[in-house]
Chains A and B, each alone.
Chain A
Amino acid sequence: MTPASASRSPFLDQRFDASTLYQLRAAVAAHVAEIGLPACQANDILIAVHELASNAIRHGHGHGRLCAWRLGQALAFTVRDGDAVTLGAASPAPGEFESLAASGDLPWPMETGHGLWLVSQVASYFAVHRDDRGATATVAFQHDGTKPGG
């Protein structure tokens, strides 16, 4: 059996700002295509990651960092606004998503909320943590596209 924790290092770790949003999307699209997800799910992942990054650019510190992990049957992405260190360089544990999701309020700064609402529609898990250096959003997607508990 393949252990869920086969890889604890991110398959993608990329900083972004307004001038590199396009490259960020291209990198996510390339990695997700390589994993072999169906086009519709790859597209949803692209929407979610882009909206989180773009939220950090518009309403946060103007720059951030995306990390992505394969965790068993899930793909997890953390989008850090500015220099937030929540979740550190280690991948989040799958169980952590649920506890984050259960925490309720999303403290991420937002203007209209449409972008983040879209994220919540497409992701299996979506949560935001905040520390004194910024916010970190975590989204996860099941490989088969299902939304457990959703």
Chain B
Amino acid sequence: MEDRPAVHTRTAPPIVRLAAEIDVTNSGSAYADLAAECLPGVGTVIADMTQTSFCDSSGVRALVRVHKLAADDGAELSLVITSGAVLRILELSGLTGILRIYPSIDAAVAAWRDRGGAKRS
């Protein structure tokens, strides 16, 4: 079996696509899917919410929990949001200034590069 380097150079951060509607019935799996990518040295995890048109308070809590989990490892959670409804609930919750929110995957990846993304090996 080949050895994989513990920290390898990434060409892009992991991208996790979230469900079209996030509520109490599936926010747990949204958390689990994102948390699974929060590995040591990951740097950034991108939550692709471009298909997400609704997110409730349990979904918001899931995102905040992942944000904290990532921060514990010195990593960051980037959210890609295109829905006004999803932005609205984050805004109501006072989180738009705390979470990193981008309008497209490209913008999130570009920001990751600007932060020195791939040079961490």
Contacts and interface: CB of A to CB of B under 8 A. Distances in A.
Contacts, number: 50
A86 interface: no
Contact of B24 (A44, A58, A114, A121): A58
A47 B88 CA distance: 10
Interface in A59-82: none
A22 B25 CA distance: 10
B58 interface: yes
Contacts of A31: none
| Size band of the interface chain B makes with A | 10 to 19
A94 interface: no
Nearest to A25: B54
Contact of B92 (A21, A25, A121): A121
A148 to B, nearest CB: 19
B92 A57 contact: no
A4 interface: no
| Size band of the interface chain A makes with B | 20 to 34
A44 B23 contact: no
A40 B21 CA distance: 17
B58 A43 contact: no
Given A18-B24, A21-B25, A25-B21, A51 B88 contact: no
B56 A50 contact: yes
Contact of A43 (B24, B25, B85): B85
A118 interface: yes
25 contacts: A18-B24, A18-B25, A21-B23, A21-B24, A22-B21, A25-B21, A39-B84, A40-B88, A43-B85, A44-B88, A47-B56, A47-B85, A47-B88, A47-B92, A50-B23, A54-B23, A54-B58, A58-B24, A112-B57, A114-B57, A114-B61, A115-B56, A115-B57, A118-B89, A118-B93
Interface of B: 21, 23-25, 54, 56-58, 60-61, 84-85, 88-89, 92-93
Interface of A: 18, 21-22, 25, 39-40, 43-44, 46-47, 50-51, 54, 57-58, 112, 114-115, 118, 121-122
